[in-house]
Amino acid sequence: MAFDFKGKVFVVSGAGSGMGLATAKLLYECGANISIVDNRREAIVAALPDITGGKVSPPSETKDAVHEDDRIIALEVDVSSSAQVNAWTEATVKKFGRLDGAANLAGITSGKKKVVDITDEDWDRMMRVNLTGTFYATRAQVKAMESLKMEAASIVNTSSIYGISGKETSSDYSAAKHGVIGMSSSCAKEVGENGIRVNCIAPGIIDTRMVRSLPPHFLESHARTLQYGQALHRMAEAKEVANLIGFLLSDLSSFITGATYTIDGGQIC
């Protein structure tokens, strides 16, 4: 899908694979300048040729960045660290002088445990990455957008269909993703008067590295869901999610904020 993002600046977390990589690739192809991060340095390095259509290979490493050129800055960032998120945002504004939008896609999957088996450490890690990390990013991005006095800006946060409904053996994951929707819709009410929109996506089963790494019995469960509990009977491709994110970052969605868009092939319809 083609959008006109020439001259605009977007940040993308989780850009080393899956939905984040597909989103970064779409934004770059549509003319945007991008600031991309992942907590795995090797993943960012491997993703750069794909994102840029082979224009970046190997990366041009600097003292502070995995790669930096006229249109891209790529950093290794752990979104559960507010200091790292703030530094990423500051580096983006320093380089490009503006921030038009953000796609906050970094996240982890559930350990697939019943609620009685989830440890304090399991719970804390899930909240720290999937909810607190999204909050840290949103907070830093809103501060930057307001400071820059952007006339229009858009933030897209990642929830899940399990942020709308529950999921057995995923209480920690579902709770974090419910929290993302609550935080995002509340933020949307605060920042709308400043021209900033905040929306969520709620993906179903997406063909990503994270999904493919699940234990076999969970992959079998997903296969049964696709066969019997979903209208389109297939996983989404990451680029299909990227197309939705591109729409929400674009002016085509200029009157949409505080919303949550499911992209699940009709799983919870």
Q: Is 28 a catalytic residue?
A: no
Residues 6+ apart with CB under 8 A from 231: 265, 266, 267, 269
Tokens, residue 247: 């729409």
Q: Is 173 a catalytic residue?
A: yes
Please tell me which residue in 28, 136, 173, 261 is annotated as part of the active site: 173
Nearest Cα residue to 72 out of 82, 83, 57: 57
Q: What sign has the CA pseudo-torsion 172, 173, 174, 175?
A: positive
Three-state DSSP state, 140: helix
Please tell me which residue in 159, 160, 174, 250 is annotated as part of the active site: 159
Residue pair 146/194 in contact by the 8 Å Cβ criterion? yes
Nearest Cα residue to 34 out of 10, 64, 65: 10
Put residue 2 in one of left, alpha, beta given phi > 0 → left and psi -120 to 50 → alpha.
beta
Q: Is 80 a catalytic residue?
A: no
Please tell me which residue in 35, 154, 177, 184 is annotated as part of the active site: 177
Q: List the catalytic residues.
A: 159, 173, 177
